[in-house]
Each structure stands twice: as structure tokens, then as C-alpha cells.
Amino acid sequence: MNPRERFHATLHYLPRDRCPIMDFGFWSETLVVWREQGYPEGADPDEFFGMDPQWIGCGGEVGLRPTFEERVIEDRGESEVVRQTDGVIVERGKFLGSIPRHLDHSLKDRDTWERHYQPRLMPDDPNRFPPSAEWRLKVEELTRPDREYPVFLNVGSLYGLPRNWFGLERISELVYDDRKLLEEIVETLADVIVSVIETTCAAGIRPEAANFWEDMCYRSGPLLSPKVFRELLVPQYKRITSVLHRHGVDIVFVDCDGKVDDLTPLWLEAGVNMMFPIEVGTWNADVVEFRRRFGKDLRLMGGVDKRILAGPKEGIAREIERLAPVVEEGGFIPTPDHRVPPDVPLSNYIFYLEEAKRIWGKGLSNIRPTSIPVRSGATLAAGALP
């Protein structure tokens, strides 16, 4: 089977030769550290590690167009204050940095929404897609009947992006202080997403899956109550997933960190049928328990505790064996539950992949290279998960 066929068969519980062997990606610092341990500079991770191709994006941009100009406001030595392309002012580390710390936000209320953000969210903005010649070549590649690799259509975010734009405190206040504004923003984002889906599929592209990005849960549960989630977001999710289903895209997943248990039934109700990355973290998410609780209606991707990759190899081997029954059942693509951090030794990661290939890959020794757009270093391919 080729990677496209294998991906489809896995997520539809069909016969297959083996499980896809994939990853989430790496911290940008990880490959820098690994170069001192033998990782070749400039090597493509999929080719070097012998993994199936992944994270190949298609379609247009569903965020701000044009973006804000990124600008360094202040250099603080080991960190810097930056206005990001989404208009948020953050302090971020220059190396081995954690999540950037929000300092201020350009989006504060209806006035700043109408002046700075709404004009950047026009559904029919031609700049959402590449120039015509470039787009034509991309369409030719992605519509080839013999395309061997799966592609994903990024359908953006209904909560995660405005949460970033406003900041967590302000968007939480809006739920009660100005629900109409929040509803308008969510509907505007859905308008953009639907337009991008229609244009992409009208060109003949049929992605194997579509992906949302939300990151709306922490260690104890969601940032938005299930009641408000159902009222505010579920109708627009249903609108988007119905368009995807009409175009034959029946695998729709959401990338959401944290404890997603309380929202998963609502996502399923809204037509989102796969969870990713199923972070183990401090909340002990477990794909075995997810499968027991939600059955085969819920597909799974991720779920391998990235922390064990830095520990003894015996622990890595035990985890691979523990997850094997769910892998064998199908509907599950195991990957580390977030980008691999630099404290994981290169030798450990290679051991993890060798064991994964032996058990999940049914004795796979390596993977034949596939002609795909090259993933650049530690970053994901253009148009893939944010």
C-alpha cells in the first residue's frame, strides 16, 4: 500500500498492510541539539528517520489577510518583545523558549474588531490562495490520480484564534459582556473557512482529512464551558463539517492540547470525528480509555507520552507494547503527543522508531521514499497544522 491508501484504510477500519509510522514534529531547538549527536544538518526528518510522509497541506489561508507586520519592539537579552503577525504583543525567548508570554492585544472590543480584524477576514480575498500560476501547479500535483501521500485541509479555528487575539481573560469576559460580538467573530471565521473549502474542492482537490486547531483546554478541562461551547460553537462546526461531508471529506480532526474529555462528545456531535494529539501530560489522557469510552466512532491520533522518550528505553518499549492492541484495531495513528523536545536523546528517538516499526509496522525495516513536498527541518509543511 502507499501512504495515502494506508492512511485511508487505517482511519476507516479497513484491511491494511500496517499502521502509518508518523510523528508530530520537533521543537526547532531539538534538531539543533541532535546535530551534535549525529543528525545531519539540513536532513529531512521523514527521510532520515524512515517515516511515512505527513502533514502535507492543501487549500488556502483561513486566518488574517493581510497579517500584521511582525516587529521587534524591545530586545531584552535572552528574550525579546515582539508584535506578532496576529497583532498580539508577546515576550518570547530566543532559544529553548517556552510559550510566548502575552503582554498586550490589538483586539480589545468592537471598535478594534471593526478597524483591525474584520477587514482582514474577507472570505473572498484572493490573497487567501497563491498566485494563479502557482495555484494551478499545486492543483495539478494534488489532483493526480496516482498521488501517493495524504493531504490535509486546514480549516482553522473558531475559538483558538480569537482567544489568542483577545487574550484568555478578555475573551472569557466577552462570553458574558458582549456575546453578540463573540458570535459575530465566530460566524465571520466560519464564513472564511467555508469559502476556502468550497474554492479548494471546486478545483478538484479531495483531501484525506480536514483539521481544526483550537487549543482550548488546560490540565483540568476546557476554557469554555460545555454549555457555552454547544451554544456558540457547535452550530458553526456543523455548518463547516456539512460542507466537508458534501465534498466527500469524512475525516475531520481537531488539534487541541489539554484535557479534552468534556468537549469530545460535543465535537463528535458537531461532525469532528478524530482527536489529536491526546496529550498525556499531567492529566493522564489515554488512547486505551478513549477507545473504551467513545468506541470506533472516534478516531485517534497522537497519544504517545513524549516524556517517556527522554527516559529509559525499557519504558519506551513497554509503552509501544501497551498501545499495540488499539493500533491493531485501527482508527488510531500513534505519534508523540506533542513536538519532541530537545531533552530527548537522538538515540532514544531512533530506538522508539525502531520499536514502533517492529511492532506497529509489523517488522518494517524502513520506508520507501515517496515523491512529496519536503518538510522543512523542524517545521511543518505549509498549510498544515499551526
C-alpha span between 269 and 246 (Å, rounded)? 17
* % of the chain with per-residue pLDDT over 70: 94
Taking only the tens place, the pLDDT of each residue in 290-314 is 999 999 999 999 999 999 999 999 9
CATH fold label, 3-68+106-359: TIM Barrel (3.20.20)
The two beta strands, 79-83 and 71-75, are antiparallel
Average pLDDT over the chain reads: 92
Report the pLDDT value the prediction gives residue 374, as an integer from 0 to 100.
47
CA–CA gap between residue 353 and residue 369 (Å, rounded): 16
| Per-residue pLDDT tens digits for 62-87 | 999 999 999 999 999 889 999 999 99
Mean pLDDT of 181-199: 98
DSSP for 289-321, written as a single string? HHHHHHGGGSEEEEEE-GGGGGS-HHHHHHHHH
Query: Is 80 exceeded by the pLDDT of residue 161?
Result: yes
- Tell me the mean pLDDT in the region 93-111: 87
The reply to whether the predicted model has a pTM over 0.85 is yes
Q: What is the pLDDT of residue 96?
A: 60
Q: Is 144 exposed, middle or buried, given 0-12, 13-18 or 19+ CB atoms closer than 10 A?
A: exposed
Average pLDDT over residues 138-167: 96
pLDDT at 284: 81
- Predicted confidence at residue 378, as pLDDT, reads 34
Mean per-residue pLDDT, 237-251: 98
* Rounded-to-integer distance, Cα 3 and Cα 208, Å: 11
Q: Is the pLDDT of residue 210 over 90?
A: yes
Separation between Cα atoms, residue 370 and residue 61, nearest integer Å = 26
- Identify the pLDDT of residue 219: 85
Residue ranges of the chain assigned to CATH 3.20.20.210: 3-68+106-359
Average pLDDT over residues 104-127: 97
Helices 287-294 and 313-329 pack at an angle, to 10 degrees, of 20
Judge whether residue 30 has pLDDT over 80. yes
Q: How many residues does the chain have?
A: 386
